[in-house]
Amino acid sequence: MESILFWVFSIAAIGGALGMVGTLRNTVYSALWLVVSMLALACLFIMLNAQFVGLIQIMVYAGAIVVLFLFVVMLLNLTGGVMGAEEQPLLKFVGVALAVAVSLQLGSILLRIELPWPEVSPEYGTTAEIGRALYTDYLLPFEVAGVLLLAAIVAALAMAKRERG
C-alpha cells in the first residue's frame, strides 16, 4: 500500500513539475501546476512521518509562495508568453547548466547513502519534537529567524513605499 502511494505521489510530483514547464505559455497555469507538485511533495513528506514539514509545505509553499508567484504574474500580466527566454541563449545555457549541477549533486548524495537507515524514535519529526528542539537546542537560530523576518519587512517597505519618504 505504502509503495503504491509513494509511486502515485512521486508521479504526481514529477507530473506537476513537467506540467509547469509545459504550460510556460500561460504562466497562471504554470503556477497552478506548481501547486500540484507541491501538494504531492507534501504527501510524500507526510508518508515519511514528517507531518510538520508536510503541512508547512502546503501552508507556505502551496499557499503563500505560489500566491506570491500568481500576484507577480498578474501584476506584470505575463500572459503574453515566455519572457525573453527565446531571445537570450545565455539564459538557456545557464538553465541547463544549473539543472546538470543539481542532478550531479543529487546523484552524489544518492551514492553516499548508507543502508540500513539509522534507527529513530517514533516521535522523531513530529510537531511536538520539532517544537522542543526549536525552543531549547536551536533557540538562537529561532530568534535570528525573527530578526530576519523583521529585516524582510523593513526591506519590503523600503522598496514598496519609497515614494512616500
Partner 1 sequence: MSEYAGLGLFMALGAGTILLLLVLTSVLGPRLRFAEKDEPFECGESPLVSPYRRFPVKFYMVAISFIIFDLEVVFLYPWAVVFRDLGWYGLLVAAPFLSMLSIALAYEWMKGALEWD
Name the DSSP class of 78. Answer: G
Q: Which stretch binds partner 1 (CB under 8 A): 81-89, 95-103, 116-124, 139-147?
A: 139-147
Reduce the DSSP state of residue 120 to 3 states and report it: coil
Q: Residue 128 CB, nearest distance to partner 1 (Å)?
A: 5
Q: Tell me how far CA of residue 123 lies from CA of 46, 49, 53, in angstroms.
A: 14, 9, 14
Dump the DSSP string for 29-52: HHHHHHHHHHHHHHHHHHHTT-HH
Is position 75 an interface residue for partner 1 (rule: CB under 8 A)? yes
Taking alpha carbons only, the member of 6, 61, 13 closest to residue 37 is 13
Site track for partner 1 across 109-138, x = CB under 8 A: ------------------xx-xxx-xx---
Q: Give the nearest distance from C-beta 141 to partner 1 in angstroms.
A: 11
Listed in sequence order, the residues at least 6 apart from 17 whose beta carbon sits closer than 8 Å to its beta carbon are 33, 34, 37
Name which of residues 42 to 71 contact partner 1 (CB under 8 A). Answer: 46-47, 52, 55-56, 59-60, 63-65, 67-68, 71
Quick count: other Cβ atoms within 10 Å of Cβ 157? 11
Q: Name the minimum Å distance from CB 35 to partner 1.
A: 16
Q: Which of residues 142-161 bind partner 1 (CB under 8 A)?
A: 142-143, 145-147, 149-150, 152-154, 156-157, 160-161
Cell of 150: 523583521
Interface residues toward partner 1, by CB under 8 A: 1-2, 5, 46-47, 52, 55-56, 59-60, 63-65, 67-68, 71-72, 74-77, 79, 127-128, 130-132, 134-135, 139, 142-143, 145-147, 149-150, 152-154, 156-157, 160-161, 164
